[in-house]
Amino acid sequence: MNAIVLIVATVLLLGPWVSVSNPVLFGEAMVVVVGVVAMLVANALLFWVGLAPLKRLSRSMAAADLLKPGVRPEVTGHGEMAELVQTYNAMLDRLESERATSSARVAAAQEAERRHLARELHDEVGQALTAVLLQLKWLADHAPAELRTDLHAAQETTRDSLDELRRIARRLRPGVLEDLGLPSALRALTADFTTPGVTVRHHLDAGLPVLAHEAELAIYRVAQEALANAARHSHADRVDLELHCGMPGIVDLVIRDNGQGRKGAEEGSGIRGMRERALLLGARFSVKTTPEGGTTVHLTVPVASETER
């Protein structure tokens, strides 16, 4: 295109339409100046049109987020620019696929490590604390009266530590989820939510469709992380947890609090972890501030077919 502009300008200068005297006349100088300006304007327009796909590609690169897949710049035109956009889109496809594979491996490794830690806490530390509790009981039964009060206090401290250890083990390995299913596990999760001054209410629809184990585990972990975030950051006094079947083939998990909202804060590792779990399931995930000022976490999970399960 640039060559065409220069060739046309040269032909006009060499043709009978333009002549330059010596010394240069004012009218001739104006013709040359107008011609140069016209060439510059034509060049600017050509660059603006030619580089428009590159600008769109640059904006897409700046906004790219592998946790929000499927966003691609539009391939327009032809030639090298179109090939560049197509190559970039193919690169994003590979990166999203590789990230999904690696995230699945990391999630599986995390769950395996959590099961191992829960087993170690229950079998090793839990049994040791139980033995200490029995020894303290024997000592309190046979100790002099002036020592029994202190020994009973030590018993209560050990019993509280054992209960807390069991709660940690349940959070690491939700045995209720494996034994009794997702609704029972979510009820147990809300019952174990013991943050002072915060009331947790749950509403679980009856007759929910059967979900794959990975989907149930992801829903449980998202609910667990959302409740933990509400306790740590929201300054709320009420949290509502809902699990319902909004549309055929869809299960919705909604955790809503009446706290102060995110107030423009960047997403932390907890929210990014929830997004990754949703991405592995092909689910939709969102975190929004409610008009009243609280925060709503929404996870929409597609129900797998019997063959996929």
Angle in degrees, CA 287, 102, 304, rounded to 5: 65
The per-residue pLDDT for range 257-309, each reduced to its tens digit, is: 888 777 666 777 778 888 888 888 778 888 888 777 788 889 988 886 555 55
What's residue 19's pLDDT? 66
What's residue 306's pLDDT? 54
Q: Which residues contact 209 (CB under 8 A, 6 or more apart)?
A: 245, 249, 251, 303
74 φ/ψ angles, rounded to the nearest 5 degrees = -75, 135
**What does pTM read for this prediction?**
0.64
* Same domain, yes or no: 72 and 181: no
Residue 87 has pLDDT above 80, yes or no: yes
CB 216 within 8 A of CB 181: yes
Element (DSSP H or E) covering residue 185 = helix 182-191
* Same domain, yes or no: 180 and 308: yes
Mean pLDDT computed over 77-93: 82
Residue 231 has pLDDT above 70, yes or no: yes
Separation of alpha carbons 229 and 202, rounded Å:
17
Query: Where in the sequence is the domain holding 41, given as residue range(s)?
Result: 2-99
In the chain, the DSSP E strands lie at: 199-204, 238-244, 250-257, 284-289, 295-302
Among the three residues 53, 83, 99, which one is the final residue of a domain in this structure? 99
Among the three residues 73, 99, 125, which one is the final residue of a domain in this structure? 99
Average per-residue pLDDT for the chain: 80
The per-residue pLDDT for range 56-80, each reduced to its tens digit, is: 888 888 877 776 777 787 777 677 7
The per-residue pLDDT for range 141-173, each reduced to its tens digit, is: 888 888 888 888 888 888 888 888 877 777 777
* Same domain, yes or no: 94 and 222: no
* Same domain, yes or no: 179 and 56: no
Mean pLDDT computed over 230-254: 84
The per-residue pLDDT for range 215-224, each reduced to its tens digit, is: 888 888 888 8
The per-residue pLDDT for range 15-39, each reduced to its tens digit, is: 676 666 667 677 777 877 887 888 8
SS3 238: strand
22 φ/ψ angles, rounded to the nearest 5 degrees = -130, 110
Residue 50 has pLDDT above 80, yes or no: no
Strand order in the sheet with 295-302: 199-204, 238-244, 250-257, 295-302, 284-289
